[in-house]
Amino acid sequence: MNIHPIEQLHIALPDLDWVTEPPRIARLSQDFSWFSPVLKRQLAGKVADAAVRPRSEEEIVRLVSLCAKLRVPITVRGTGTGNYGQAVPLHGGVVMDLSGYNGFLWGRDGAGRAQAGMRLADFENETRTACAIELRCMPSTYRSATLGGLFGGGFGGVGSINYGPLAARGNILGVKAITIEEQPRIIELRGADALAMHHLWGTNGLVLEIELALAPAVPWNEYLVVFDGFDAALDFGNAIANAPGISKREVGFFSAPVAERLKPLAEFLPAGTHAIVLALAPASESAMLELAAQFGGRVTYRKEAAEIARTRRTLLEFTWNHTTLVALKTDPDITYLQCAFTAGQHLEQVRRMETKLAGEVLMHAEFIRNMDGQVTCTSLPLVRFTTEERLQEIIECYRDNGVRVNDPHVFIVEDGKAGGDLPEAAIAAKRRFDPHNLLNPGKVRAWMHGVPQ
C-alpha cells in the first residue's frame, strides 16, 4: 500500500508537535505579503500540507532527515512577519515553525548567540541583562520577529543609522546551519561565509543558531519633532543623522500625508506638519533641541525609556514598515515600495521623487548608514495603489531617477533585493546545504526546473 509522504512523516515522528487543524496550517503558510496587492493575488491559496513546531536540534535533525529521504519540501518559518511571501510554501510540503526553538545561548564581550527561533526582543532582554548589550539593528517587528527570520528575510532597521544593514561586515559573526540530506550535517559558518545565507529567504540553508555582534545598551528616549516645511524636516533629520556627537538609534521622516495616516499619533502630529521620529540617548537631548530650534521644529512628543518600558508603547512601532501597517488600517488602498537613495545625493533624490509623484507616492524615509558607512536614506514610501501596471511605472520612475528599488512585490529571490543572478557564494551554499532543492522549491529561479547542472 502506498502511504502519502506526509502521513509517513506523522507516523514516523509521532512525538513531534504537529499542527493538524487545516486553518492553523493555512495561517502558518502565510506572512505579511498581503501588504502587496500583487503578491496577495499571486500567492493566494498557497498552503503547506503539514506544519510542525520542533523544539530541539535533535527533533530538527530527525525531521530534516526524513523529509530529505521522502523528498518532501520544507519551508522554514520564524513568526511570519516577512513581507514578500518568503515563508509561504509554493509547492506544499511541511512548514517548519521554528519559533519554539528559541533558547538563549550566551551574551558576552559585545556579542550574543541564540537558537534561530528566539524573538528579537527576548534575545535583547537576555543580552541587556547578561552584559548591558543590545541589538545593533532590528526591524520594527522586533517584538514578534525571530533571529532566524531577521537573518533569512530581514534587512535591518532601527539602529541601522549607526551600524548599517545587518549585512554590513562585522554585524553577523556566525551561523550554525544544517544540510537538508538523509544524513544531515551540521556546519558552522563564520563571518562572510555566513552572509552567503543571509536574505536568501530560507532557500539555501536552514539556520539553527545565530551569533551577532551587539552594541552597548542605552536607555533610549523617544521624540516627535514637527515642522511646517517638508525641506526643513528633511534637513533636520539629515543633520541629526550626521551629527557624530548625537547618540541615536532611530531617525525617521514622515511627510505630512504619511503623518496624517498615523491616527494613533494624531494628537502629536498637527495637520499639515512633517515629522521626524527619533530615539536618542538622554545625554543627546539638549543638542537635538538646539538643532530643532535652528530648523524651526517643535517637539510634540517626548517619552523617557523607563516610561516606554512600563507602558510598552513605543514610537518604534510606527517606523520602518510599521508606518505602512498603521497607515493601512485607515487607508486600505495603499501599498508601498522599498527604495535606497544614493549617499550624498539622497536629499536631492528624496525631494525630486516627492515633486515628481506628489499625491500618488507619499514620502516616508528612514536615515541609515549604508554598507560603506555613509549616511543616506532608505525609503518605504506609501503608494496609492490603482493598478499593477501603474505600480510598475512608479518603480521605473524611481529607477530612471537613479534610485534603487528593492521591489517588494515579487516572490522570486532573484527578483528581490538580490536584483538579478545570485552571487556565487549563495549558489554554492544552496548546492551544499540543499542538494535536493527541498527548501521552498519555486522561490529560486535558477532551481525552478530542478537542480541546475
Ligand X SMILES: Cc1cc2nc3c(=O)[nH]c(=O)nc-3n(C[C@H](O)[C@H](O)[C@H](O)COP(=O)(O)OP(=O)(O)OC[C@H]3O[C@@H](n4cnc5c(N)ncnc54)[C@H](O)[C@@H]3O)c2cc1C
| By CB under 6 A, residue 87 contacts ligand X | yes
Residue 152 CB, nearest approach to ligand X (Å): 3
Taking CB under 6 A as the binding criterion, the range among 13-21, 144-152, 253-261, 307-315 that sits at the site for ligand X is 144-152
Q: Whole-angstrom Cα distance, residue 134 to residue 279?
A: 14
| By CB under 6 A, residue 46 contacts ligand X | no
How far CA 118 is from CA of 99, 102, 103, 208, 231, in Å, comes to 6, 4, 6, 10, 41
Taking CB under 6 A as the binding criterion, the range among 9-17, 77-85, 220-228, 369-377 that sits at the site for ligand X is 77-85
Residue 72 CB, nearest approach to ligand X (Å): 16
Residue 119 CB, nearest approach to ligand X (Å): 8
| By CB under 6 A, residue 145 contacts ligand X | yes
| By CB under 6 A, residue 31 contacts ligand X | yes
Residue 243 CB, nearest approach to ligand X (Å): 23
Q: How many residues bind ligand X (CB under 6 A)?
A: 36
Nearer to ligand X, 93 or 149 (CB): 149
Closest CA to 436 of 198, 88, 182: 182
For every residue of the chain, which 3-state class applies, written as one string?
A: CCCCHHHHHHHHCCCCCEECCHHHHHHHCCCHHHHCHHHHHHHCCCCCCEEECCCCHHHHHHHHHHHHHHCCCEEEECCCCCCCCCCCCCCCCEEEEHHHCCCEEEEECCEEEEECCCEHHHHHHHHHHHHCEEECCECCCCCCCEHHHHHHHCCCCECHHHHCCCCCCCCEEEEEEECCCCCCCEEEEECHHHHCCCCCCCCCCEEEEEEEEEEECCCCEEEEEEECCHHHHHHHHHHHHHCCCCCEEEEEEECHHHHHCCHHHHHHCCCCCEEEEEEECHHHHHHHHHHHHHHCCEEEEEECHHHHHHHCCCHHHHCCHHHHHHHHHHCCCEEECCEECCCCCHHHHHHHHHHHHCCCEECEEEEEECCCCCEEEEECCEEECCCHHHHHHHHHHHHHCCCEECCCCCCCHHHCCCCCCCCHHHHHHHHHHCCCCCECCCCCHHHCCCCCC
Nearer to ligand X, 82 or 93 (CB): 82
Residue 139 CB, nearest approach to ligand X (Å): 3
| By CB under 6 A, residue 320 contacts ligand X | yes
Residue 324 CB, nearest approach to ligand X (Å): 7
Taking CB under 6 A as the binding criterion, the range among 46-54, 76-84, 249-257, 415-423 that sits at the site for ligand X is 76-84
Residue 100 CB, nearest approach to ligand X (Å): 12
| By CB under 6 A, residue 77 contacts ligand X | yes
| By CB under 6 A, residue 153 contacts ligand X | yes
Contact 226, 186 (CB under 8 A): no
Residue 84 CB, nearest approach to ligand X (Å): 8
Q: Which of 261, 322, 409, 417 binds ligand X (CB under 6 A)?
A: 322
| By CB under 6 A, residue 378 contacts ligand X | no
Nearer to ligand X, 138 or 292 (CB): 138
Residue 302 CB, nearest approach to ligand X (Å): 23
| By CB under 6 A, residue 29 contacts ligand X | no
| By CB under 6 A, residue 236 contacts ligand X | no
Contact 164, 136 (CB under 8 A): no
| By CB under 6 A, residue 76 contacts ligand X | yes
Ranges within 383-422 binding ligand X (CB under 6 A): none
Residue 166 CB, nearest approach to ligand X (Å): 7
Nearer to ligand X, 203 or 273 (CB): 203
| By CB under 6 A, residue 81 contacts ligand X | yes
Amino acid at 359: G
Nearer to ligand X, 36 or 81 (CB): 81
Nearer to ligand X, 142 or 227 (CB): 142
Nearer to ligand X, 82 or 107 (CB): 82
Binding site for ligand X (CB under 6 A): 31-32, 76-83, 86-87, 98, 116, 139-141, 145-146, 148-150, 152-157, 201-202, 206-207, 320-322, 325
